Chains A and B, each alone.
Chain A
């Protein structure tokens, strides 16, 4: 997607090989969709980035100083990612993004409270983000804790409890459905529930209806590095 122009700008050949030094092999950063992208374009661009990550190809070059300086004037992120604090699920890395690309809300167990909702609304209404992706991941520790609460009556004290409790309804639903892999089924169910909540948010309704915003759910597989879309 539009790599040739940037490739020459950064002094790389189209195949990604550096023309001056043999190592390290670098490639041009992925070009963003031009203009004001639709929700579908933004989603396609994200998934293309994930494919790039999975392919484990040559990395993009470091941010140049002028890239950082010009971003200081303003941000126009392509998507909001509502993700987990888990250190293995950094959205910028999984989607092969650079500074300025993703507006990110992260808390253990990727749940959304009213302040998180405020962050999302800011990105949608003030920054014009066309896409919100709720991103869960396999083997999530916070969801695992909610599973332990349901199955083994584990108790959690203090602030940890506020992380675990919002996930319990998803565990109960996955359990009632007789899931084989309760943990990962609960992760999926929780993502779907959070996405549904955002889709039903009154303050986002007009933008959603106008087709200027889409809310989707994703599941990140820690082993394959792939993000799978959830209904």
Chain B
């Protein structure tokens, strides 16, 4: 990814190379998230780790998964999956969309930090997806930066609409997650493509139900 004049460090990065990490594989990482999501004891683990954990973490991070999620305040990944500091490398944007910088962040999490799992997490009643359903009807509904944030979701809305679903927003959220998983997998980034090919990396979509607090993995 990076060509560096340095002989030490991970190709232009000052962090230790990922192969030194003893990280979870994709399946173990997914199992850990499933367990976290199943537990209702969300907040409980978080602040207890305290200062000693901070000192160890300050040297180096070793997240076991990259989480691509929505900015929505009710969908904080660490709280939903019962994770602590150091567990999840997180990219959040309204509507859990992934632009170039989001993709670059994911590559960083996978290649430099060695995360073995990428989860794209959509959620019920997503305001950005709702806005995209309006934008699909009326191209003048939004302008400026707001439009820029919502526009990438419109294709998923149109695709979901074609199947005439009972709940368009929920269907579009699912479709949006699927298309983002696909976009990451086919991004052409060698760090992602190579690891997907030899099984060192997995990408999976997930759906958070705001009402029940449950996460459904879209295998």
The docked-state distance in angstroms from the alpha carbon of A72 to that of B46 is 23
B41: chain A residues at CB < 8 Å are 62
Asked if A122 meets B103 with Cβ closer than 8 Å, knowing A57-B47, A62-B40, the reply is no
B108: chain A residues at CB < 8 Å are 85, 108, 141-142, 160, 163
Asked if A159 meets B2 with Cβ closer than 8 Å, knowing A119-B94, A203-B145, the reply is no
> What per-residue 1/0 map shows which CB atoms of B37-74 lie under 8 Å from chain A?
00011111111101100110110011100000001111
Identify which of B1, B42, B76 contacts A102 (C-beta below 8 A). Answer: B76
B87 CB within 8 Å of chain A: yes
The docked-state distance in angstroms from the alpha carbon of A148 to that of B9 is 11
Identify which of B2, B84, B101 contacts A107 (C-beta below 8 A). Answer: B101
Chain B contact patch, size range: 35 or more
A158 CB within 8 Å of chain B: yes
Chain B interface secondary structure, helix, strand, loop or mixed?
Answer: mixed
B104 CB within 8 Å of chain A: yes
B107: chain A residues at CB < 8 Å are 158-160
A40: chain B residues at CB < 8 Å are none
* Interface residue total, chain A, C-beta cutoff 8 A: 83
B92–A155 CB distance below 8 A: no
Min CB distance, B96 to chain A, in Å?
11
The docked-state distance in angstroms from the alpha carbon of A103 to that of B84 is 19
A160–B2 CB distance below 8 A: yes
A68: chain B residues at CB < 8 Å are 210-213
Chain A residues with a Cβ under 8 A of chain B = 24, 26, 29, 52-53, 56-63, 65, 68-69, 71-72, 75, 77, 80, 85-90, 92-93, 96-108, 111, 113-123, 125-126, 138-139, 141-142, 144-145, 148-149, 152-164, 166, 203, 222-225
Chain B residues with a Cβ under 8 A of chain A = 1-6, 9, 12-15, 40-48, 50-51, 54-55, 57-58, 61-63, 71-76, 78-80, 83-94, 97, 99-109, 112-113, 124-125, 127-128, 131, 144-150, 152, 187-190, 210-213
